Amino acid sequence: MEPGASNNPALYPVTVFFKYLRGRVRTRSGLVTAASAIAVLAVACGGGDSPDASTAVPPAPTETAVAQMFDAQGNPLDDLAGAEVVERSGDAVDLELATFAHGDFSLKNLEGKAVAINFWFPSCPPCRAELPDLQAAYEAHTEEGFEFIGIQLLGLDSAEDGAEFLQELGITYPNGADTTSSIIRDFKVTGFPTTVFLDKSHEVSKKWTGILGEDSLDREIAAALAR
């Protein structure tokens, strides 16, 4: 069994961190980030002064409970994770972005297609953990008319870090850095990862904060394609 892997669902956060570290220590900048992540994990897993802390078994988490996310400063925001149903306004979303490897991106070029907009940054462990699943969903659903676009938060990581990070993970759908944070503000993103689902008319149908499980991802893609 690989380091950090476990059949115990209560240890899911530990697995997320080890998956993240495995990807980040391949780069020089990743060593610093990895050390920071280990420190965060050590604090999060500390038993405190309670005599029963070493033997207490946490309850098995639900999908919402394990859908962890981080704020822009790298602080956990577990209590805010989950799905948010957004009231449809009747207004189509517009988005333009200079991507790392796909030139200039515009939602207008995806007319009639449903879209998932994923907000992330390399130093966010749950972002790292869910990106391979997003890539798999992209490959599985792109021929059905569903597309992905990734938006990187700048601050803890540079755009160069982001491009290198995506290459390491084998992410091929369009991604780019939000150099002015205007896209993040427009979508009112406060935690990472966050995924916004647009229907075929490019209206926001669902906003999900935290890691998306495979079942939830497939369900939201199907719902967006059906609108």
And the tokens for 135? 């890539």
Average pLDDT over residues 190-209: 92
- Pairwise pLDDT comparison (12 vs 222), residue with the higher score: 222
| Residue 169 in this model has a pLDDT that exceeds 50 | yes
CA dist 46 and 140 (Å) reads: 40
Rounded to 5°, angle at Cα 96 from 94 and 97: 145
CA dist 125 and 128 (Å) reads: 5
pLDDT value of residue 59: 38
CA dist 118 and 90 (Å) reads: 22
pLDDT value of residue 182: 94
CA dist 172 and 139 (Å) reads: 9
pLDDT value of residue 14: 40
pLDDT value of residue 106: 94
pLDDT value of residue 155: 95
Measured CA to CA in angstroms, residue 97 lies from 50, 127, 175, 180 at distances of: 50, 20, 8, 11
State pTM to two decimals: 0.68
Domain boundaries, the chain: 9-62, 78-226
- Pairwise pLDDT comparison (170 vs 79), residue with the higher score: 170
Candidate CATH numbers 3.30.70.100, 3.40.50.720, 3.10.129.10, 3.40.30.10; the one for domain 78-226 = 3.40.30.10
- Candidate from 70-84, 111-125, 193-207 with smallest mean pLDDT: 70-84
- Pairwise pLDDT comparison (36 vs 190), residue with the higher score: 190
- Pairwise pLDDT comparison (184 vs 45), residue with the higher score: 184
pLDDT tens digit sequence for 13-72:
444 444 444 444 444 444 444 444 444 333 333 333 333 333 333 333 333 333 466 667
pLDDT tens digit sequence for 206-218:
999 899 888 889 9
How many other β-carbons are positioned within 10 Å of the β-carbon of residue 208? 23
**3-state secondary structure (DSSP) of residue 26:** coil
pLDDT value of residue 214: 87
Read off φ and ψ for residue 70, nearest 5 degrees.
Answer: -125, 155
